[in-house]
Chains A and B, each alone.
Chain A
Amino acid sequence: AQSVTQLGSHVSVSEGALVLLRCNYSSSVPPYLFWYVQYPNQGLQLLLKYTSAATLVKGINGFEAEFKKSETSFHLTKPSAHMSDAAEYFCAVSGPYTGGFKTIFGAGTRLFVKA
């Protein structure tokens, strides 16, 4: 069975500072991993995905994530935070399930960016 743990329900950074959002997963098979972003009153938007091609994955808006199998982690980073990055971020894992694939989402991390 797959599961996802996001460390820290809230993260606050200053504008221009490094953004680091942590995600650890549990999966009995090689997983597919995703990061999504949700702005207020909107659905989720796919930021990036890991599907076993490369361990360092680049996404939209300057975000990237590194898959570390030994640490079962898929942390999301961005070198320099912008005010527009303030949102909620969800890590997700997808794997085979009876009849198809199932995607499990973490609890989310709300990112605050201070001016």
Chain B
Amino acid sequence: KAGVTQTPRYLIKTRGQQVTLSCSPISGHRSVSWYQQTPGQGLQFLFEYFSETQRNKGNFPGRFSGRQFSNSRSEMNVSTLELGDSALYLCASSGGGQGGYTFGSGTRLTVV
């Protein structure tokens, strides 16, 4: 069974630009969650999608958005990038129950 695939693995962007990150969950998993990981703040919940609907949202500004497609693949977008957006962005999929997450390897975003 293929794991959770995140692309790209690394990104360098300039302040003010926008970026789109992609996540393909495990086949059959309909829930996709996104987390931001930084040394100072740890793992912060961004949002969760289930069957194309945003089910939960964390405390991030509106510059952070996401969506999920009918095949469960998900994208997250960050507009007007700030230096503080530099982080490891992790995608996690689950079957919808409480079996825990399967994480991707993450996308490391650096904003310069």
* A residues at B contact (CB < 8 Å): 32, 34, 36, 41-46, 49, 51, 90, 94, 97-108
Contact = CB atoms under 8 A, between A and B. Distances in A.
Question: Which applies to chain B's interface (DSSP): helix, strand, loop or mixed?
Answer: strand
A54 to B, nearest CB: 15
B45 A49 contact: no
A102 B56 contact: yes
A100 B55 contact: yes
A42 B102 contact: no
Interface in B1-48: 4, 6, 31, 33, 35, 42-43, 45, 48
Question: Which applies to chain A's interface (DSSP): helix, strand, loop or mixed?
Answer: strand
B43 A90 contact: yes
Interface stretch (B66-74, B75-83, B103-111): B103-111
Given A43-B90, A108-B42, A102 B48 contact: yes
B103 A45 contact: yes
Nearest to B103: A43
A53 B6 CA distance: 33
A107 B40 CA distance: 9
Given A43-B103, A44-B90, A105-B42, A100 B48 contact: yes
A101 B42 CA distance: 20
Interface of B: 4, 6, 31, 33, 35, 42-43, 45, 48, 50, 55-56, 90, 92, 98-106, 108
B87 to A, nearest CB: 13
Contact of B56 (A34, A90, A97, A105): A97
Contacts of B100: 34, 36, 46, 49
Nearest 6 Cβ contacts at the A-B interface: A43-B103, A105-B43, A100-B55, A32-B98, A44-B103, A99-B55
B48 A43 contact: no
B56 A98 contact: yes
Nearest to B43: A105
A63 to B, nearest CB: 14
Contacts of A97: 56
Contacts of A108: 42-43
